[in-house]
Amino acid sequence: MPVRVIVGAFVLNSGLTKLKGAEEAAEPTHGMAKTAYPFLDKQEPRDFIRRLGTVEVALGAALIAPVVPSALAGAALTAFAGGLTGLYLRIPGMREPGGLRPTEQGIGLAKDSWLVGIGSALVLEELGRARAERRARC
């Protein structure tokens, strides 16, 4: 639960910040996102940042709420973090040539790969727990 609360609070805060300051963050955030994911070019920057903020608030709340199963919260975090990691992998100048090592500009995005690991760990832990319970019953 401590990992869920810490990550959830971080993601929740990020979403609330986006929703409060949508005007200032809209253009640069949308610009970076559409560089990695060209289909996002069709969205208006303000709409994009509001949707992103809403998703972050929902994800952060799901991670913090103990009633949401860890497997579900972890799967959602892994999917969301996968999209963030895609930014790191797709935006030019974020990685050293020929490898995965981040450039100085890419460190901020490279750290999102930790969220993939945390989300995956939540899912795997829950699956392992369920498997152990099944074995104990047999």
- Residues paired with 102 in a beta bridge: 95
Whether the per-residue pLDDT at 2 is higher than 80: the answer is yes
Span 50-93, pLDDT tens digits: 999 999 999 999 999 999 999 999 999 999 999 999 899 999 99
At position 50, the amino acid (one-letter code) is: R
pLDDT for res 22: 66
pLDDT at 136: 84
For the chain, what are the domain ranges?
Answer: 2-137
**Amino acid identity for residue 103 in this structure:** T
- To the nearest 10 degrees (0 to 180), the angle between helices 113-137 and 70-90 is 150
Q: 23-45: per-residue pLDDT in tens?
A: 777 888 898 899 999 999 999 99
Q: 11 with 64: CB under 8 angstroms?
A: no
SS (H, E, C) the chain: CHHHHHHHHHHHHHHHHHHHCHHHHHHHHHHHHHHHCHHHHHCCHHHHHHHHHHHHHHHHHHHHCCCCCHHHHHHHHHHHHHHHHHHHHHCCCCECCCCCCECCCCHHHHCCHHHHHHHHHHHHHHHHHHHHHHHHHC
Here the tokens at position 86 are: 């895609």
